[in-house]
């Protein structure tokens, strides 16, 4: 006999006047104004966050995928894509920070982006971008760099 499970989205926040995230600058602004203001955010640790978007690139929510150490945070495609599907998002932006202040992607960042993109393509949901936050005025966009 096989066990069956029922899942439901249990934590969400209603967004009033949600932001438009249609560029790396918009994603960076969202990170600085929303993500960094959350009580779970700690500047000296890596965080992986997905931002859920509707068809007009308006934010419909976000999800903390993982909280890591000063130089790494693991994220599995199922942990990223599951909440995207539960939120019925049209597309999403994958984001994480580098507490060092250098937003240059590591080989692990490149590998994660490839895995997430492959999974998103399979599920017919768009990975709009993967943005790495380095600091208040620095970021790296995989889309802008032609890597998506």
The CATH number given to whatever domain includes residue 67 is 3.40.140.10
- Let me know if residue 15 belongs to a domain: no
pLDDT tens sequence across 43-52: 899 999 999 9
Give the C-alpha separation, 31 to 49, whole Å: 9
- Let me know if residue 18 belongs to a domain: no
- Let me know if residue 116 belongs to a domain: yes
- Let me know if residue 72 belongs to a domain: yes
- Let me know if residue 98 belongs to a domain: yes
- Let me know if residue 115 belongs to a domain: yes
What does 77-107 look like in DSSP terms, one character per residue? HHHHHHHHHHTT-SEEEEEEE-TTS--PPPH
**Can you give the pLDDT at residue 145?**
96
Q: What is the mean pLDDT of the chain?
A: 89
**All residues at 6 or more sequence positions from 58 whose CB lies less than 8 Å from its CB, including other chains:** 18, 19, 20, 21
* C-alpha neighbours within 13 Å on the C-beta side of residue 145: 14
Task: Work out the percent of the chain whose per-residue pLDDT is above 70.
Answer: 89
Counted domains in the chain: 1
Characterize 48-80 residue by residue with b for buried, 16 or more Cβ atoms within 10 angstroms of its Cβ, and e for exposed: bbbbbbbeebbbbbbbebbebeeeebebebeeb
- Let me know if residue 79 belongs to a domain: yes
pLDDT tens sequence across 84-129: 999 999 999 999 999 999 999 999 999 999 999 999 999 999 999 9
Q: Which domain holds residue 103?
A: 41-141
For residue 119, give the 3-state DSSP assignment.
Answer: helix
Compare 110 and 9 and report the one with higher pLDDT: 110
Compare 9 and 29 and report the one with higher pLDDT: 29
């Amino acid at each position: 006999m096989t066990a069956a499970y029922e899942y439901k989205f249990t934590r969400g926040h209603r967004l009033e006047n949600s932001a438009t995230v249609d560029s790396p600058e918009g994603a960076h602004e969202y990170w600085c104004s929303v993500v960094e203001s959350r009580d779970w955010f700690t500047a000296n640790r890596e965080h992986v966050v997905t931002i859920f978007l509707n068809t007009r690139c308006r934010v419909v929510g976000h999800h903390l995928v993982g909280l890591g150490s000063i130089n790494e945070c693991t994220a599995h495609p199922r942990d990223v894509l599951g909440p995207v599907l539960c939120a019925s998002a049209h597309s999403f932006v994958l984001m994480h920070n580098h507490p060092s202040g250098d937003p240059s992607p590591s080989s692990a960042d490149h590998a994660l982006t490839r895995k997430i993109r492959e999974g998103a393509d399979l599920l017919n949901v768009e990975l709009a971008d993967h943005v790495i936050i380095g600091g208040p005025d620095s970021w790296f966009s995989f889309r802008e760099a032609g890597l998506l």
